[in-house]
A and B are shown apart, each in its own frame.
Chain A
Amino acid sequence: MPSVIIDNIEAVPGLIQRLYTISERHLLDGILSSIDNSVMRTKRQLITIYKLVALISENLLCRQTVKRPPIKIQGQRRAFSITSPLNQELRPPTEKDEELSVDALGRPTKKTNLYTAINQAMDIALATDPKALLFGEDVAFGGVFRCSTGLREKHGADRVFNTPLCEQGIAGFAIGVAAQGHTAIAEIQFADYIFPAFDQIVNEAAKYRYRSGNQFDVGGLTFRAPYGAVGHGGLYHSQSPEAYFCHTPGLKVVVPRSPVQAKGLLLASIRDPNPVIFLEPKWLYRSSIEEVPIEDYEIPLGEAEVIRNGEHVTIVGWGAQLLVLEQAIQMAEEKLGITCELIDMKTLLPLDIDTVVKSVKKTGKLLISHEAPKTGGLAGEIACAVQERAFLHLEAPIKRVTGYDTPFPLVFERFYFPDALKNYEAIKELIEY
């Protein structure tokens, strides 16, 4: 299937960038295929290409492999793997992905991308809960990110359906469905468009149980919304609005980092007896692939996870930002000869501060990174909660590497973004403090 031969690994980033610019997508396809299942020479090269590929593969929607004459790149031929340290692969699916495998727990798995993992979770939720409904704008045909593909055909047009184009209506409707004891899985097409529903979510869903003295609740309610940078989203297709909702008692806020996490956390969110805002990293919808268990499983809410052990710095993030932090850590470990502990918060409300505090007591240093703007962002809350409980263990001021206090700008995204290099610099400063 690969239709591009890469002879010189050093030339790949430049080539990808050039092809991307001239929209030669079929050639990119070839390159992405050739990258598969090979071994890379150095970690630095991996890091460089890693993000580029993520960016590009996001653009290769509904790709079809086209046989093309191979491109010959001058120089020594190198093959490499682009499997991420988080066990995610950033590449389009291949035929080989259809093969079944088994995970560490002995569960049958299959290579699955993030949107398909979301699709599976909703499929299971609809199959196991006859009162579950899935709705939102353009959900019926499969959704603009394809998350609900095939579910209408499988579970019925009265359970998987379009609503009129109105977020406050979707939210209010979903609350009513849940108040009647049903399970509502409501899709908001982009997190950037959730604000018309803000009143319903903050004043109604979040307070439903409390204000009724536990007579009524909307625990069956889950809002799903794609969030975050995507490379070309600009102001209104890139935002990370988690902090607004984390300021609202009564809600839970959950962000998965990968397909395995997305499936398990979404099933847990749908079944949690409280309203949940489930923010999906749209950058990873297609580009992130993992061996995902086929079965029905849940990953508990309210628990952070140490996904990389280290001694010198604790680094906290969630969602797609963890991939950026992985790159930064690789740079730091390589250049500075240190080890970093990486924590995925997973649930942002309520926060599992214990896990972070435990790590900070060991490392003495903390870096928190998110895409959302700095002021009023969740990094501030985590920093404060940690210093309350680990003040005497801190050996340096807590660092925040976040988006700037500006709207999310289209043409300046590379500058705005809290990328690996900015995080690397922050780690360096923490180490040198």
Chain B
Amino acid sequence: MLRGLRLSQPFLQRSSVPVNSFNRLRVVNHVKSGISHRCKSTEKVLAYPGEKSVFDDKLEFHSTKEILPTYRIMNEDGIIINSEEDPKLDRDTVVKMYRHMVSLNAMDNVLYDVQRQGRISFYMTNYGEEATHLGSAAALKPEDTIFAQYREAGVFLWRGFSLDDFMNQCQSNSLDYGKGRQMPVHYGSRRLNIQTISSPLATQIPQATGSAYAQKMTKSGNCTVCYFGEGAASEGDFHAAINFAATLETPSIFFCRNNRWAISTPSTEQYRGDGIAGRGVSYGLKTIRVDGNDIFAVYNATKAARKIAVEDNQPVMIEAMTYRVSHHSTSDDSTRYRTLSEIEQWKIKHDPVKRLYNYLLSKGWWSEEMETTSRTEARKEVLSALKRAEAQKKPSPDECFNDVYDELTPQLIQQRQEMREHVKKYPQNYPIDQHLV
């Protein structure tokens, strides 16, 4: 039954079955068995964990028969297509979501250019995926633990990671919580309950399962949310993680940002079958696919997932269909492997920021004037935070040796001493002026 709006073209490549939008929130926990019930006389079933399988005398190989629908409640024009599903968030909340989107865009604009000027070593922008960040983050409790990948700056913003925090990290200065040890965008905050990001892909997913198990043990009433891309979902760690979550029944939300591109590899070369959501179902997780550019659909799905995770101690999979408008990183030029028109189509037609903007306009909660002012102000705030961060010195070179262990080992003490003496001997060869003593 085709109803409502279609999710855009690229996702159709996976299958000849049209992916229709769906206007009722539905969490799927099993696919219809393709097995016909022919053994009427005996009706014996083969009982394994999960589904019961009926004996069948028909030789048939099965494949995905039903592509999971994509939950959507707001169209490209920012119009709620099913008022029953409208989360009816208050003005302050929606404006806050939107303001964070504006800040995120401003930060991405500035830091991308700053990297191009050589003032930071690396950066990754978040364009096109803003709704997946803010829609999900807003549906969580601050006590829920987050394990992120690297393109979830909006989640950090929502939790309260300040522009100064971002700039300090990207500048590797002495105020960076990570003490300048990691490349830019590897944020983390104990205060905000977001584990520090690491570069290896998908490693955070089984960790999130372990974290959720610990939460279950302490009956904390919280869950762990794990973000990752559809490319990372090809790693073994992904499969390990969701299988562990299913068998150990952890309060986990696995949030896949399917942005269609893993650096230059399109999702068409990343997997077969019914995407990441299909895997969620097959591993025995309650699963939903959502329009990742519909902030309210993402919000509703995450909120419902949280309820299942926390109340039933069950893991949930969310596959948010979105698009990486950004280049992969500042080290990447994506026009070498994808067409400008493809990017433009997503940028113009499916922009999640524009969609929320239209919603705000229709509600009378925003105006063109506010838009101009807020964008100008956001840029100004980012620039002043950047200036402050650039004025800070880098951490003391001694920090090179701290935190490897809880205490310095004899070897580290000796090596630190060797470094100090060497640098003292050749001060002109090392950037000591840039660092704290």
Contacts and interface: CB of A to CB of B under 8 A. Distances in A.
Our verdict on whether A and B bind, yes or no, reads yes
Interface of A: 131, 133, 158-159, 161, 163-164, 166, 168-169, 171-182, 184, 196, 199-200, 203-204, 207-217, 219, 249-250, 252, 273-274, 302, 350-354
B266 to A, nearest CB: 25
Contact of B248 (A161, A216, A351): A161
A176 to B, nearest CB: 3
14 contacts: A163-B247, A176-B206, A176-B210, A177-B214, A180-B211, A196-B236, A200-B237, A203-B200, A209-B403, A211-B181, A212-B178, A212-B195, A216-B188, A274-B406
Given A177-B214, A180-B215, A172 B177 contact: no
Contact of A169 (B179, B217, B241, B411): B241
B282 interface: no
Nearest to A208: B196
Nearest to A176: B210
A199 B196 CA distance: 17
Nearest to A274: B405
Given A173-B210, A177-B214, A210 B236 contact: no
B212 interface: yes
A175 B214 CA distance: 11
B411 A351 contact: yes
Nearest to B400: A210
Contacts of A350: 409-411
Given A158-B217, A168-B237, A175-B210, A214 B402 contact: yes
Contact of A215 (B147, B190, B243, B409): B190
Contact of A174 (B190, B210, B404): B210
A172 B196 contact: no
Interface string B179-222: 10110001011100001101010010111111111110110000
A63 B237 CA distance: 40
A229 to B, nearest CB: 29
A208 B196 CA distance: 8
B361 interface: no
B178 A211 contact: yes
Most chain B beta carbons < 10 A, residue from A168, A169, A178:
A169
Nearest to A218: B207
B190 A211 contact: no
Contact of A164 (B188, B203, B244): B244
A203 B203 contact: yes
Contact of B206 (A171, A180, A351): A171
A219 B404 CA distance: 11
B237 A203 contact: no
B406 A219 contact: yes
A173 B213 contact: yes
Interface string B142-180: 000101000000000000000000000000000011110
Contacts of B237: 168-169, 172, 199-200
Contacts of A169: 206, 209, 237, 240-241, 243-244
Nearest to A217: B406
B224 interface: yes
Contacts of A204: 198, 200, 203, 207
B181 A213 contact: yes
B244 A216 contact: no
Interface string B391-420: 000000000001111100111000000000
Given A169-B206, A172-B205, A179-B211, A209 B404 contact: yes
Most chain B beta carbons < 10 A, residue from A164, A174, A213:
A213
Interface string B361-388: 0000000000000000000000000000
A250 B405 contact: yes
A302 B408 CA distance: 12
Contacts of B209: 169, 172-173, 176
A176 B404 contact: no
Contacts of B182: 211
A217 B101 CA distance: 31
A166 B243 contact: yes
B293 to A, nearest CB: 30
A352 B411 CA distance: 9
Nearest to A181: B214
Nearest to B411: A350
Closest 5 CB pairs of A and B: A176-B210, A172-B206, A169-B240, A180-B214, A176-B207
A361 to B, nearest CB: 17
Contacts of A351: 411
Given A133-B213, A214-B402, 9 more contacts: A133-B214, A168-B206, A169-B241, A171-B206, A184-B210, A211-B188, A212-B188, A215-B190, A352-B410
Contacts of A159: 217
Interface in B3-41: none
Contact of A163 (B179, B196, B215, B248): B248
B404 A250 contact: yes
A212 B147 CA distance: 13
Contacts of A164: 240, 243-244, 247
A179 B181 contact: no
